[in-house]
Amino acid sequence: MTDRQDDRDLPDGVREIVAEIESEIGDEDAPGPSEPRTAGHNGRIEAAVREILTEIGEDPDREGLRTTPDRVHRMYAELTAGYHVDPERLINRAVFDVAYSEMVVVRDIPFYSLCEHHLLPFFGNAHVAYIPAGRVIGLSKIPRIVEMYARRLQVQERLTQQIADFLMERLEPDGVGVVLEATHLCAAMRGVRKPGTVMTTAAVLGLFRRNDKTRAEFFSHLARPAPGTP
Ligand SMILES: [Zn+2]
């Protein structure tokens, strides 16, 4: 999906988000958002949004809606910026050889994604754990990995699996566990309304899959209140 050539055409807003996901704050060689905006703006999304507005019985030319097609275009570009993130840049210099082999757990990572069936948001928290086999990844990178996959059209199951697979491939740890808890606006807003319904998905690899004790340890971390919470 990623083609760095095409990325020169990214609008500024998207480029900024991509750079933010790829780089640490204060990174000196982070690609700046100041490169000129070029193409990528053929008006097709604007035209399509106007069509939708007309089809639902609205007047796309009334004052409140006049700039909506342009805003929607920019919004979708930003919400799907994850397609343009380069995983190599993301993990650049953040994988370290460390002789640590206990479970590392990063809990309560907030994420926002778009369901690919309705283009409506689903959002919640991600919990990511792995057992290093000689290599660890910088702590701040894990939320960025979540972000890289969340800012795409997704189903929650695939998002969960992609985060787990990515860590498994890049770190070659003894195991990875990922749990996502999310509210889907397409479920909350449509049909029988059940606000507050939370969908939970899990992906377990390696020891997390084979070893009941490892899995139980992971889930016990998630059940416990976070340190510092009253
Ligand atoms: Zn949906």
Q: What is the pLDDT of residues 78-131, one digit of tens each?
A: 999 999 999 989 988 899 999 999 999 999 999 999 999 999 999 999 999 999
> Which pLDDT does position 50 carry in this prediction?
97
Q: How does pLDDT run across 33-78, given as a tens digit for each residue?
A: 444 343 356 789 999 999 999 999 999 999 999 999 999 999 999 9
> Which pLDDT does position 35 carry in this prediction?
40
Active site residues: 115-118, 156, 184, 186
> Which pLDDT does position 161 carry in this prediction?
98
pTM: 0.86
3-state secondary structure the chain: CCCCCHHHHCCHHHHHHHHHHHCCCCCCCCCCCCCCCCCCCCCHHHHHHHHHHHHCCCCCCCHHHCCHHHHHHHHHHHHCHHHHCCHHHHHCCCEEECCCCCCEEEEEEEEEEEECCCCCEEEEEEEEEEECCCEEECCCHHHHHHHHHHCCEECHHHHHHHHHHHHHHHHCCCEEEEEEEEEEHHHHHCCCCCCCCCEEEEEEEEHHHHCHHHHHHHHHHHHCCCCCCC
Q: How does pLDDT run across 129-177, given as a tens digit for each residue?
A: 999 999 999 999 999 999 999 999 999 999 999 999 999 999 999 999 9
Centre of ligand 1 to C-alpha 111, Å, is 16
Centre of ligand 1 to C-alpha 119, Å, is 7
Range with lowest mean pLDDT among 4-8, 88-92, 209-213: 4-8
Centre of ligand 1 to C-alpha 43, Å, is 26
Centre of ligand 1 to C-alpha 195, Å, is 14
Q: Is the pLDDT reported for residue 227 higher than 80?
A: no
